[in-house]
């Protein structure tokens, strides 16, 4: 199933996909080199990885039109491993990362994305937009005015070219920006930074490499912590990017197939001398905005990247970094959810706090997984707090010396204390009826609270009956409640 794709995914948008793939390939080059430098490896490790991952994911991935390659989020996790153990261990860790991601796909962990709220996704997107912009600043500091002029011209081309009749709609403006600024800088002979200044480009095709590490438990314990981290961050970023591309294109993606596809792509990268990678939100948005929709755009980006680097390296080296900075600034502006700022007034305060907290943690730590974890945790706490407030207990005197308590809502760890406090244990009654027909007990905290209520009333001499339990509540109470077990009640009262 993983290799099966609809014909429309490949041939439904040929011109748009090919042109978008070329734009993405050009924008991938400086990023792959920069991420290699972050990880502390040779530029060809990132370039080979980007070619390999993009090509494989086009065939086996679960989201047409999404671009996967070497990424900064993954590169940051590799720094210590490369520094302490070298490139071969990184390649081994990349293979293990792929295996873990395939296992995650078969365990259907992609479906866990439903626990990530819209506020967390928005915060994640905004944080990435900020990080993409901040990553361009080194290219815009301590430079001559020519660089600013070129970047401004590039942004002008990107935003104004689409308004041209015929041509504007048929050729992606980022591609026009890169080509025109390269020609301009060559004609004028400007002394500004180019792609060639980023690092040495490889001049050979990648070859099959089995990592030169001892196959023993020592090696496994060295690479396992890194591989687990890479697998989690890779899948998180890929799932998040898939969600965003789904929204941009109004289509659905297969999350679990994407998990397996990312794993296969990373194994392929590791065997061809590349580092682990994942989906790239910036490049995916470049692809979508340039007209790419299908698998053809992703495979074009991968293959054209290799052709560019290996066979057209001399041409590629001439591209001014200012042109690519303009493209990435366009990406950061397009990625940022500007409506999320406007909506902060109308959205619940808890949603805004989750979104802002996700942004702050991601930008502050440069760790996407950490930001998502904090966002999901806050969402869960706010949700639990909100649900706990909807629990009410009403009381009526139904007969002489008989008090009925009617419980409505969800009883769980966050509402258990409120449940206990709703009962009057000082009142002298012969019988207490607790109506649970509109209540649901979820966990042992809830059952413990019910035990406490029943035992306290019985200690005061009242007869207690529980009525109206639904099947789920009855099951959890039968399994965990102790109020009908004299020995357990004695133990609970004495604390022994």
Q: Where are the domains of the chain?
A: 7-337, 392-494
User: 392-494 architecture in CATH?
Assistant: 2-Layer Sandwich (3.30)
Q: How far apart are CA 293 and CA 25, in angstroms?
A: 15
78, 90 Cβ separation under 8 angstroms: yes
Question: What six digits make up the tokens of 469?
Answer: 């339990």
Residue 347 zone, left/alpha/beta (φ > 0; ψ -120 to 50; rest): beta
What is the CB neighbour count within 10 angstroms for residue 15? 11
Cα–Cα distance list, 50 to 18, 197, 206, 277 (Å): 17, 19, 11, 8
If you count them, how many residues does the chain have? Answer: 496
Model pLDDT, residue 103: 95
Return the pLDDT at 356.
Answer: 94
CA 367 remoteness from chain centre: 11
**Residue 492 confidence (pLDDT):** 63
Spatial separation of the C-alpha atoms in residues 373 and 342, rounded to whole Å: 25
Contact 441, 409 (CB under 8 A): no
**Which tokens go with 127?**
């944080």
Q: Note down pLDDT in tens along the chain; length 496 residues.
A: 566 677 777 888 899 999 999 989 988 887 888 788 778 888 889 999 999 999 999 999 888 999 999 987 788 788 889 989 989 999 999 999 999 999 999 999 888 777 888 898 889 888 888 888 888 888 888 888 889 999 999 999 989 988 888 888 778 788 888 889 999 999 988 888 888 787 777 778 888 888 889 989 999 999 999 999 899 889 988 988 898 899 888 888 888 999 999 999 999 999 999 999 999 888 898 899 888 988 999 999 999 999 988 888 888 888 888 988 888 888 788 878 888 888 888 888 999 999 999 999 988 987 777 888 899 999 999 998 888 888 899 988 877 778 899 999 999 999 999 999 999 888 888 899 999 999 999 999 999 999 999 988 888 888 999 998 989 889 998 888 888 777 766 766 665 4
Q: Which of 281, 313, 309, 287 is nearest to 18 (CA)?
A: 287
Identify the pLDDT of residue 494: 61
Name residues whose C-beta falls within 8 Å of residue 474's C-beta, 6 or more positions apart in sequence: none
Q: Is the pTM of this model over 0.85?
A: no
Q: Are 391 and 421 in contact (CB under 8 A)?
A: no
Supply the pLDDT for residue 11. Answer: 83
Nearest to 298 by CA among 112, 58, 29, 45: 58
Contact predicate 46/275, CB 8 Å? yes
């Amino acid at each position: 199933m993983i290799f099966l794709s609809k014909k429309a995914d490949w041939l439904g948008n040929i011109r748009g996909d090919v042109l978008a793939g070329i734009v993405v390939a050009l924008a991938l080059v400086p990023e792959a080199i920069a991420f290699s430098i972050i990880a502390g490896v040779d530029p060809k490790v990132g370039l080979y990885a980007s070619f390999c991952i993009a090509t494989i994911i086009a065939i086996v991935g679960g989201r047409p039109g999404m671009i996967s390659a070497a990424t900064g989020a993954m590169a940051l996790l590799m720094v210590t491993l490369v520094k302490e153990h070298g490139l071969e261990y990184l390649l081994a860790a990349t293979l293990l990362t792929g295996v873990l991601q395939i296992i995650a796909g078969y365990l259907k962990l992609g479906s866990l994305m439903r626990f990530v709220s819209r506020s967390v996704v928005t915060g994640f997107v905004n944080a990435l937009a900020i990080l993409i912009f901040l990553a361009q600043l080194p290219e815009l500091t301590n430079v001559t005015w020519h660089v600013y002029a070129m970047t401004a011209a590039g942004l002008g081309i990107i935003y104004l070219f689409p308004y041209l009749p015929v041509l504007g709609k048929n050729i992606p403006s980022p591609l026009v920006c890169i080509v025109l600024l390269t020609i301009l800088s060559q004609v004028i002979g400007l002394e500004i930074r180019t792609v060639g200044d980023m690092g040495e480009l490889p001049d050979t095709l990648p070859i099959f490499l089995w990592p030169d590490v001892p196959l023993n438990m020592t090696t496994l314990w060295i690479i396992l912590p890194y591989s687990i981290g890479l697998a989690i961050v890779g899948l998180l970023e890929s799932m998040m990017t898939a969600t965003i591309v789904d929204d941009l294109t109004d289509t659905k993606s297969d999350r679990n197939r994407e998990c397996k596809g990312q794993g296969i792509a990373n194994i392929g990268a590791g065997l061809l001398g590349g580092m682990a990678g994942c989906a790239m939100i910036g490049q995916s948005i470049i692809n979508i905005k340039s007209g790419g929709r299908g698998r053809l755009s992703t495979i074009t980006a991968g293959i054209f990247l290799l052709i560019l680097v290996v066979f057209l390296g001399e041409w590629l080296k001439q591209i001014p970094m200012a042109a690519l900075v303009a493209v990435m600034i366009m990406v950061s502006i397009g990625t940022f959810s500007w409506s999320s700022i406007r909506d902060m007034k109308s959205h619940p305060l808890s949603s805004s706090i989750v979104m802002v907290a996700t942004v702050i943690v991601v930008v502050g730590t440069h760790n996407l997984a950490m930001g998502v974890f904090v966002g999901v945790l806050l969402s869960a706490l706010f949700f639990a707090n909100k649900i706990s407030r909807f629990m009410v207990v009403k009381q009526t005197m139904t007969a002489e010396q008989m008090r009925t308590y009617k419980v409505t809502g969800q009883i769980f760890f966050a509402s258990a204390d409120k449940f206990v406090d709703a009962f009057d244990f000082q009142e002298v009654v012969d019988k207490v009826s607790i109506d649970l027909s509109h209540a649901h007990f979820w966990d042992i905290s809830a059952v413990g609270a019910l035990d406490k209520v029943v035992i306290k009333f019985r200690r005061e001499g009242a007869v207690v009956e529980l009525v109206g339990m639904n099947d789920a509540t009855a099951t959890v109470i039968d399994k965990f409640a102790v109020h009908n077990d004299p020995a357990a009640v004695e133990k609970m009262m004495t604390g022994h």
